[in-house]
Amino acid sequence: MTKITALCIYCGSSSGTDPVYVERARAFGSSLAQRGITLIYGGGKVGLMGTVADAVLAGGGRVVGVIPRQLVELEVAHQGLSEIQVVDTMHQRKTRMFELADAFVALPGGFGTLDEMFEMLTWSQLGLHEYPCAFLDVRGYFTPLRGMMDHMVGEGFVRAEQRAQIWFGDDQDQLFEWMQGYKVHHVPKWIDRRSVDA
C-alpha cells in the first residue's frame, strides 16, 4: 500500500468556461484536507489552482506553494498559504514541486498543466521516480488526451505497460483508492520494433 503524504496538483490558472471545473477543484481540495494530505502546487491565487488551495486551507489542511519570483512580482501569489517557496525560474519550480510530493494529479488546465504533468510521466517512464500519476477527467476534459495516449501505444511509441500505469477517471474517491494500491512496474522505455516483430 502506498502512503500519500503530499500530493502535487497541476491545473489551470484560469477557471474554465463551465462552473463544474471550479466545483470539482473545490471538492478535490476539501478531500485532500479531510485525508490529511498536504497540497503541493504552483503558489497562485487565481484560477483552479487558487480554488484548490483555498479549499484545502478552509478544511484545515496544509498547503505549500512554489512560485517563480517573476509571478510573485505580477501579484498572482497566494498570500494565505501554510508555506510559500519563491524560486528563480520555472525549471526550479517544477523540480522543487517534484521534490516535495509523492503523488501527482492533473486537473483541467492549459499548456502549463500538460507540460508539468508530462514531465512527471516522462520521469516515471525513465525510472526516475516511482510515484503515481493521475488525470481527474472532469467533464471529459482529458478524454481526447487519453485517446492520444492509446494511439501512441498503438503506433509503437509508448509501451502498453507504461500507459497502463497512468490513471484516468472522474471519481476522486476511486483516484485515491488507486493511488493507495499503486505499484510501479519498470519496463524499458525503448521499443525495439525488430524484437516485437520477431
Is residue 40 scored above 70 in pLDDT? Answer: yes
- Average the pLDDT over 180-189 and give the result: 76
Burial 100-133 (b: 16+ CB within 10 A, else e): bbbbbbbbbbeebbeebbebbbeebbeeeeebbb
The pLDDT mean for the chain works out to 92
> What's this model's pTM, rounded to 2 decimal places?
0.91
Scanning the structure block, which residue is given the C-alpha cell 490513471? 167
pLDDT tens figures, 76-126: 999 999 999 999 999 999 999 999 999 999 999 999 999 999 999 999 988
Cα gap 41→18, rounded to integer Å? 22
Walk me through the domains of the chain, giving residue ranges and CATH numbers: 6-197 (3.40.50.450)
Residue 50: burial class (beta carbons within 10 Å; 0-12, 13-18, 19+): buried
